[in-house]
Amino acid sequence: MKRLAIITVGPTHSGKTSFAKALEDQLPNSFVMDQDNHASFINAHYQKLQPVVGTNTLKHAVSLLIVNYAKENTDLHLIVSNANRSRKGRRYLLEDVFPSEAYHRILVYFDIPEEVLLKRVMNSERDTTIFRSAASFHEVLKRQSEESKNNDDITAPTHEEADDLFVVKELHDVETTVKKIVSMAEVMKGKKE
């Protein structure tokens, strides 16, 4: 049976982490790979190894190591909780890390209005130890907004990219999407048995 690879897409405070945890709670035999956890760990213990500018290659290496370990040593469904806003980055995940021969690939896109995100970051109590080069979530959101306007590679995902695409626009969409993915896994498991 193919495993599920569920990949979140969206800006900060769009609900990716909450969704991933809710899905993990309801999807048997699954786990969340959340890059914020890796960033916090690296900043706490290996800050001197962090790249000063550019892509956070250390965080990505740790995340890839965990994903590869899970792929090779478990039969768990993988929930990848990260922004994944770049089309090129998603293509790498969907073609190289989670090839269609072995995984049913699902993108979950958080299409939340910017004014809602702004309210969330202004009231955020989330830990900021994940930051390498930002002072606040407001700064992260502002940078992400500018990237969306100025970088052609930062795009909303399309149905052609993965096996399935779910779009979350409101809170109730989270519960509906979780139920659909859990149901999908049950159908796939039933076909195997």
Look at residue 176 and tell me whether its pLDDT is greater than 60: yes
- What are the extents of the domains in the chain? 3-192
Read off the pLDDT of residues 42-74 as tens digits, 9 standing for 90 and up: 988 998 998 888 788 899 999 999 999 999 999
- What would the CATH number be for the domain defined by 3-192? 3.40.50.300
Give phi and psi for 3, each to the nearest 5. Answer: -90, 160
pLDDT at position 192: 61
Which of these, 122, 87, 126, 80, lies nearest to 103 by C-alpha position?
Answer: 80
Q: Per mean pLDDT, which range of 47-51, 97-101, 114-118 is the poorest?
A: 47-51
Percent of the chain with pLDDT over 90: 72
Which of these, 84, 150, 85, 139, lies nearest to 117 by C-alpha position?
Answer: 139
Per-residue pLDDT averaged across 149-166, rounded? Answer: 95
Look at residue 132 and tell me whether its pLDDT is greater than 80: no
pLDDT at position 50: 83
Q: Per mean pLDDT, which range of 115-119, 161-165, 189-193 is the poorest?
A: 189-193
Higher-confidence position of 1 and 32? 32
pLDDT at position 87: 95
Burial class of residue 50 (count of CB atoms within 10 Å of its CB; 0-12, 13-18, 19+):
middle
Q: What is the rounded CA–CA span in Å between residue 127 and residue 146?
A: 23
Average pLDDT, the chain: 92
pLDDT at position 53: 81
pLDDT at position 108: 98
Sign of the dihedral defined by the CA atoms of residues 155, 163, 110, 52, in that order: negative
pLDDT at position 193: 54
Q: pTM for this structure?
A: 0.92
Read off the pLDDT of residues 22-44 as tens digits, 9 standing for 90 and up: 999 999 999 999 998 998 899 88
